[in-house]
A and B are shown apart, each in its own frame.
Chain A
Amino acid sequence: MFFFSLMQFTASKQPENCLLGPESDSQRTLYPYVTGTSVVALKYKDGILMAADMGGSYGSTLRYKSVERMKPIGKHSLLGASGEISDFQEILKYLDELILYDNMWDDGNSLGPKEVHNYLTRVMYNRRNKFNPLWNSLVLGGVKKGEKYLGTVSMIGVNFEDNHVATGFGNHLARPILRQEWHENLSFEDGVKLLEKCMRVLLYRDRSAINKLQIAKITEEGMTISPPYSLKTYWEFAAFENPTQGAVGSW
């Protein structure tokens, strides 16, 4: 059989025969700078519901508080992104061009969510192949000809579709809730309630989450995105009232 080893990547001086290419190629993405946190989405009776907060963190600083991390794509799709905001903006530029060319054909056909998801997967995978990834986790949802579609792509190109998806912390905190409580043909109100339940848990437990979110809905008719609003939170749980009661000196 064969021996497979992981490679070490460096940004400093390299020997010429290194796989990484010329040294002037130090423009690769190494870390994300301004990041958005989780996106959560689910299929409901009429289409897709997606939620994301409006925070753009610069490390541990909450730098931007009105970042729209969900955007409509063409007639049938909705894209939500977490991770590096500037890379998300670049993805929107790519998609702008994609949709433009699609419209220019003027043939009555339009790219559906499946096609857009496939395109994004290819883009993300190809950037990963060049060792210069777009540092995002994307959620792509939409409805075309009555068929609902919800998929996700990671920064290295891992993609799949499901009835509910989430990125980042949402995978750990929101998906278990969705696995328990999601069912086919959720009404709009139930879907929103379920999403809010997920977003509330994220708000309590994800330190990069902020209490200013939007919920977007996409159906056969089109896409609507709610104005920013905040969730009600409750901090008076008895167990947290005097947490060190039973263990003096603890914190």
Chain B
Amino acid sequence: MTKQQANWSPYDNNGGSCVAIAGADYCVIAADTRMSTGYNILTRDYSKICKLADKCVMASSGFQADVRALQKQLAARHLIYQHQHNKQMSCPAMAQLLSNTLYYKRFFPYYSFNVLGGLDNEGKGCVFTYDAVGSYEKVGYSSQGSGSTLIMPFLDNQLKSPSPLLLPAQDAVTPLVEAEAIDLVKTVFASASERDIYTVRRQTRTCYHKCSWYPPGIHGT
């Protein structure tokens, strides 16, 4: 009697790329709008960005059903936090929560590659980058998803962060102005979409600014 093999996989990769860049008093988070499966496009108009808290936004690519479940989990936990603490979760707090939530499913992971962006309690931009099981790091910029191998080297070239091993600790956030950072993000998607079939130029982009924030809008280039 031969072993029966599974004829379905609980995972799928719905593709896409996410990027976030932190500045002194702003944070830009962007993700493309294509959702695919295999060589097919499911829809051209899908947002991978989710607002988790007032000053915290997550962009996730990977398996859409897991991403959606993860977003709902975090939203529910944030609601409980608000009831218990009478305030919004800060971006670093949400960062820790996301890490814990991902590791909770260490042995049946959320196939979700996340980038968290927002403003910390002092109004400075912060970006956190994750793998699928919760290891995370605070960085000045990051990309995840199918185009990240193309995007990350380009961001390294343009925004090279000082090493986190240096003493005294140096700021990882970019000295660029917000408008320059947005321009960079547009360029990044234009380039990635040239060679990554799962990434398109069209993106949803959110910018957090110290004083106010712009609601996510679909900005094409």
Contacts and interface: CB of A to CB of B under 8 A. Distances in A.
A171 interface: yes
B214 interface: no
A12 B131 CA distance: 34
Contacts of B107: 19
Interface string A1-34: 1101010111110000001000000000011000
A155 interface: yes
A160 B35 contact: yes
B183 to A, nearest CB: 30
Contacts of B12: 154, 156, 158
Contacts of A160: 35, 42-43, 46, 64
A158 B10 contact: no
Interface residues of A, number: 29
A128 interface: yes
Given A158-B14, A160-B46, A172-B40, A30 B7 contact: yes
B131 A158 contact: no
With most chain A CB atoms within 10 A of its CB, the pick from B5, B9, B65 is: B65
Contact of A162 (B43, B68, B132): B43
A133 B135 contact: no
Interface in A112-168: 121, 125, 128-129, 131, 133, 154-162
Contacts of A128: 10, 65
Given A4-B132, A125-B65, A128-B65, A158 B42 contact: yes
Contact of A19 (B1, B45, B108, B109): B108
Interface in B37-66: 37, 40, 42-43, 45-46, 63-65
The majority secondary structure among interface residues of chain B is: loop
B3 interface: yes
A4 B5 CA distance: 19
Nearest to A157: B65
B38 to A, nearest CB: 10
Nearest to A160: B43
B136 to A, nearest CB: 11
The majority secondary structure among interface residues of chain A is: loop
A12 B1 contact: yes
B133 interface: yes
Contact of B68 (A9, A12, A129, A159): A159
A125 B46 CA distance: 19
Interface size class of B (residues with CB under 8 A): 20 to 34
B40 A8 contact: no
A155 B8 contact: yes
Contacts of B5: 8-10
B6 interface: yes
A171 B35 CA distance: 13
Contacts of B40: 171-172
B69 interface: yes
Contacts of A19: 107-108
B158 interface: no
Nearest to A125: B65
A19 B132 CA distance: 19
B40 to A, nearest CB: 6
With most chain B CB atoms within 10 A of its CB, the pick from A1, A158, A159 is: A158
A158 B6 contact: no
A171 B96 CA distance: 39
Interface in A168-185: 171-172
Nearest to A163: B45
A12 B14 CA distance: 32
A131 B9 CA distance: 9
Given A10-B4, A154-B12, A154-B65, 8 more contacts: A1-B131, A6-B9, A11-B4, A12-B4, A31-B7, A128-B65, A157-B69, A171-B40
Interface of B: 1, 3-12, 14, 35, 37, 40, 42-43, 45-46, 63-65, 68-69, 107-109, 131-133, 135
Interface of A: 1-2, 4, 6, 8-12, 19, 30-31, 121, 125, 128-129, 131, 133, 154-162, 171-172
13 contacts: A4-B109, A4-B132, A6-B11, A8-B5, A8-B6, A9-B5, A9-B6, A121-B65, A156-B10, A157-B65, A159-B65, A160-B43, A171-B40
